[in-house]
Structure 1
Amino acid sequence: MVDSRGKHAESAGRLPSDAFQNDGARRGFHRLHFEPGLESEFRVYYDAVNRGQARVVFLFGAMILLVFSLHNLHAYAPPLNHMAFFVQGVVLAPILALAWLGSYVERLRLAVLSLACLSAVTVGLFSLYAQAYRQGEPFPYEGMLLLLMVGYFAVGLRFPQALAFGVLLVLTFVLSEIAWSPEQGRLPRHVLYLISANVIGAIGAYSHEYSRRHEFLAARQLRSEANRDGLTGLHNRRYLDEQFPRLWAQAQRERRRIAVAFFDVDYFKAYNDAKGHLAGDDCLRALARALAAQAQRPLDIAVRYGGEEFLLVWFDLDPAEVLVDIAERARQRVAALGLPHEASPVGDFVSVSCGAAATVPTAGQDPMAFLERADAALYEAKRRGRNQTVAVPHFVAPEEVMYSQPEIVET
């Protein structure tokens, strides 16, 4: 394949495999952790699907805290009532309101917002408990149960994060009861309730994340099937139409060279007529494997463009002149398959014609014009007798198409 310096290395020739079908996608599934690349993709997905719900919880929580602050202002004697009003209404409610606003900023991770809010509410509640114990007034611990349920189910924390928060909350509560409460007799009952809530919350949170991971893999599988050619397993035109403009824009931003090569099977209709369509399908699969092996870096693309036509895309190809060698190497790899083609006027075996082009995109260039130039190079290769490569390594701008001098490599 082509490395970051534009050099070509041989690879195993495997077609891209879908992550859902790959054992690597399921490895660690029960431990709620995929392989690194897939895990990163899942976390983005998990953040996105939970953000709306967490947003509602932040806003509703701010309103509930305001209500409690007004209620506690009249329910307790000074200074606990004033402290409760200040902590709940002046400090915590605005924090949750800010988290609600922050949830609309996509670059802010939801887990960070959620943990910050839960931590703030926890600190605020324990400060009120401490003051209540000093005054000898009972302060309801049920707020801890509510906080546990929110942490496990409502604000988009993954299972390990929610479990760690729940355990720390219970431990903090136990230590505070031992330190502050004069009535130690009620501690076992409260701890039992909190531990039970933790167990229930942990089971539910695990099941929830497990289901989300399954949904993620299923959705990923459907997207992959929609973007792949059913016969060869290569990406299809739909995928190319979605990804090539993005790849072009990235190459323009980073001033990287992008290269494409069209491959057309020589006299494939004659091959089908002579050997039958099933043999033709087998031929296309074999060619797909051979060509896909030449574009295996993360940003490279191998596409079945249509019928017996294929397209390879290489990102960051440098220097430009290496395009000729890479495109020709791919063509020769097809020839090396040695698939008999007695009906071909250009040889005894299946061959392909290739047209290639490379450029560093600029603001004045049209990606479609660039693809058309590579397609024109393919037709030039066919006009010159097929089974050869015509390459334009220095395509610059649309107006220069007529004057570009292609390099021609013949067998």
Structure 2
Amino acid sequence: MPPHHLPFDTTYTSPYREAMERGHARLLFGPALEAGFRDAQYLTNLAWMRWVSWIGIATYLAFVAIDLATIPLQASRWTAAIRLLLIVPTLVVALAVSYRTASRAVLTPVVFLTATVVGCGTVGIVVLSLALGAPVPYEGTLLLPFVIHLLLGLPWRQALGSNLIALAMFVVLVPLVQPDRMILTYQLSYMLLANVLGAWGGYALEHRARASFLTAGLLSELAERDGLTGIHNRRSFNDHLERVWKQAAREGGNVGLALIDVDHFKQFNDRHGHGEGDAALRAVADVLGAHANRPLDLAARYGGEEFALIWYDPQPDQLHAMGERVRRDIAALELHAADARIDPITVSAGVAVLRPRDIPRHTDLLRAADIALYQAKHGGRDRVVVLSHPAPGELRFPGTPVS
């Protein structure tokens, strides 16, 4: 293991803070943060997308009646067909997909396809009516960039792509059927302006949403992380232990817990100073974080020089070896300060494993690990003691732990 030079300067780096410092002008985070942002946006955007779909269905159905009542049949039958056979069914499909939880992964592509079909279908109505000599007002197409960018909840790039496809169709086809050059100039100018304004508004909206996501994530992280070491704090540890305990109770699994205490830490501080003591704690936390490497595992600073490791559903016969690896990795730390080597630090570890279906209270797991830690410290320190599935009678604390 590489040496740690004191003062230790590799504390936990927040991905939220890093993203804030880099900025997000490109509207893109790293893979993990991007997935979190998409999940956070999903429920917010879902309600808007459904309302827009319902309103869109009602609007296009209403315009079927308006078309049939106001424009000649040779044109209205085509415009009605596009609305009834293309646009409305596409909106209905998107709405149905939005109500299926299992379809969550495909909802964004479906909404993108729906927006593109609606946009191109609306442009098609304008082009066909012009070609048949019964022009309908094109102003409805001006609303599409704003609806797609601001109300559907599409990622900005996909909303932009959908709008550009409809705009390209408009720019290519409308000049072929619009004989009045002045009207054409105004139509093209307004369509371009609507797309520019819609794209700018959509960009600003997503940029602000990303900034809010980073701020909320950082605040949540600050509430859950220990300020000195960067790993989880006592509050986060308690919440996580309760959650995994309930999950193990449902699944019939085990929960393992290691309480780890740095040996003779007061003497270490007295000898080397509190700055080096803090750096040593950060080095220990760094090691422990590497041993909480599964999704439901967690490393936390329990208080002072005491740490905790939660292991979800470990094999009981492997716990002693797991604890020993932690102890050896900490003992192997090479700590340096002012070009002088510091004596290795050691830890005592009390490890316990319980099955929630056998003992319903997660506080019993804490008590068992605390008893094991007491035994490790009274047994000479720099050692690991394991209590595996102790009976309730074995959870009586033997006495006050040594400091």
TM-score (normalizing by structure 2)? 0.77
Q: Using the TM superposition, name which of 82-91 and 64-73 deviates more.
A: 82-91
Matched residue, 2:153 = 156
> Where do residues 10-409 of structure 1 align in structure 2 (5 Å cutoff)?
10=1, 14-22=10-18, 26-27=21-22, 29-85=24-80, 87-88=82-83, 92-93=87-88, 95-96=90-91, 99-100=94-95, 102-106=97-101, 107-109=103-105, 110-183=107-180, 186-247=183-244, 259-266=256-263, 281=278, 284-296=281-293, 299-314=296-311, 321-336=317-332, 351-358=346-353, 366=360, 368=362, 369-392=364-387, 395=388, 399=391, 402=394
How big is each residue's C-alpha offset from its partner over 1:223-254, in whole Å with a ceiling of 9 and x where there is no partner? 11010122332201332233345556777889
Q: Which amino acid aligns with 1:60?
A: I
Unaligned runs of 5+ in 1: 1-9, 340-347, 404-411
In structure 2, how many angstroms separate the alpha carbons of the residues matched to 1:299 and 1:25? Answer: 27
Determine helix, strand or coil for the equivalent of 1:108: helix
In structure 1, how many angstroms separate the alpha carbons of the residues matched to 2:243 and 2:227? Answer: 24
The structural deviation recorded for 1:353 is: 1.8
Q: Using the TM superposition, name which of 222-231 and 32-41 deviates more.
A: 32-41
How big is each residue's C-alpha offset from its partner over 1:243-271, in whole Å with a ceiling of 9 and x where there is no partner? 34555677788998764311123455677
In structure 2, how many angstroms separate the alpha carbons of the residues matched to 1:177 and 1:155? Answer: 26
The structural deviation recorded for 1:146 is: 0.8
In structure 2, how many angstroms separate the alpha carbons of the residues matched to 1:31 and 1:81? Answer: 44
In structure 2, how many angstroms separate the alpha carbons of the residues matched to 1:37 and 1:77? Answer: 56
Q: Indicate conservation of the 8 Å contact 1:15/1:292, yes or no.
A: no
In structure 2, how many angstroms separate the alpha carbons of the residues matched to 1:367 and 1:134? Answer: 76
- State the identity as a percent: 35
Q: Indicate conservation of the 8 Å contact 1:73/1:81, yes or no.
A: yes
Q: Which amino acid aligns with 2:206?
A: E
The structural deviation recorded for 1:150 is: 1.0
Determine helix, strand or coil for the equivalent of 2:17: coil
- Could you say what the CA RMSD is over the residues aligned between the two structures, in angstroms? 3.9
Q: Which amino acid aligns with 1:18?
A: S
Matched residue, 2:339 = none
In structure 2, how many angstroms separate the alpha carbons of the residues matched to 1:362 and 1:87? Answer: 60
Determine helix, strand or coil for the equivalent of 2:261: strand
1:363–1:130 Cα change, 3 Å: farther
Q: Which amino acid aligns with 1:157?
A: L
In structure 1, how many angstroms separate the alpha carbons of the residues matched to 2:193 and 2:175? Answer: 20
The structural deviation recorded for 1:307 is: 3.5
Q: Using the TM superposition, name which of 261-270 and 376-385 deviates more.
A: 261-270
The structural deviation recorded for 1:296 is: 4.8
1:191–1:102 Cα change, 3 Å: same
The structural deviation recorded for 1:91 is: 5.9
Matched residue, 2:7 = none
Q: Indicate conservation of the 8 Å contact 1:174/1:187, yes or no.
A: no
In structure 1, how many angstroms separate the alpha carbons of the residues matched to 2:319 and 2:360? Answer: 20
In structure 2, how many angstroms separate the alpha carbons of the residues matched to 1:201 and 1:122? Answer: 14
1:289–1:135 Cα change, 3 Å: closer
In structure 2, how many angstroms separate the alpha carbons of the residues matched to 1:194 and 1:154? Answer: 18
Q: Indicate conservation of the 8 Å contact 1:258/1:315, yes or no.
A: yes
1:201–1:228 Cα change, 3 Å: same
> Would you say how many aligned residue pairs link Structure 1 and Structure 2?
381
Q: Which amino acid aligns with 1:377?
A: A
In structure 2, how many angstroms separate the alpha carbons of the residues matched to 1:337 and 1:152? Answer: 54
Matched residue, 1:5 = none
In structure 2, how many angstroms separate the alpha carbons of the residues matched to 1:243 and 1:61? Answer: 44
Q: Indicate conservation of the 8 Å contact 1:12/1:293, yes or no.
A: no
Q: Indicate conservation of the 8 Å contact 2:142/2:194, yes or no.
A: yes
Q: Using the TM superposition, name which of 224-233 and 107-116 deviates more.
A: 107-116
Determine helix, strand or coil for the equivalent of 1:355: strand
In structure 2, how many angstroms separate the alpha carbons of the residues matched to 1:77 and 1:297? Answer: 68
Determine helix, strand or coil for the equivalent of 1:262: strand
Q: Indicate conservation of the 8 Å contact 1:28/1:34, yes or no.
A: no
